[in-house]
Amino acid sequence: MYDALLFIHVLAAFLLAGGVVIYTSFILGGPVNRATRTVAEVLWGVGGLGSLAFGIWLVLNRPEYELWDGWIIAALVLWVLTMGSGAQVSRSVQPAGDDSAVSIDRRVMFAHWARVLYVVLFLVVMVWKPGA
């Protein structure tokens, strides 16, 4: 059971990162079209919900982990920050009518790069479990 939960949790983290990679292409000037944005949103949503749900399930499934362990609290805080900054970016990056690059506001760029940092830190905490 543990191996299956861990696999799905890691897969969800990769989906989350995939959504961030697609949004990075938008931020760097790539064309924003409805289909690609939809894929990014699905990856982001499924990855975010999956990483949280299966991560908590993993914690509850393993006797050596507790929800109040420092690295788990850090991961949950980073997850909340990631989702918050992602929501701002998602609302602001909309498809252009002609499949061209869209103009991105500085605040949206900052929120995106903050999200990238949060995702990287989230993955670091998940892999190395500082303090565990």
Residues 27 and 95: beta-carbon distance below 8 Å: no
- Per-residue tokens: 83: 């989702």
Can you give the pLDDT of all 132 residues of the chain as single tens digits? Answer: 889 999 999 999 999 999 999 999 999 988 888 899 999 999 999 999 999 999 999 999 988 888 999 999 999 999 999 998 888 888 888 887 666 666 788 898 999 999 999 999 998 998 898 877
pTM of the model: 0.87
At residue 48, the pLDDT reads 94
What's the domain range around 83?
A: 2-128
At residue 103, the pLDDT reads 75
The full DSSP string for the chain is -HHHHHHHHHHHHHHHHHHHHHHHHHHTT----HHHHHHHHHHHHHHHHHHHHHHHHHHHH-TT--TTSHHHHHHHHHHHHHHHHHHHHHHH----TTS------HHHHHHHHHHHHHHHHHHHHHHH-TT-
Number of compact structural domains in the chain? 1
Residues 102 and 96: beta-carbon distance below 8 Å: yes
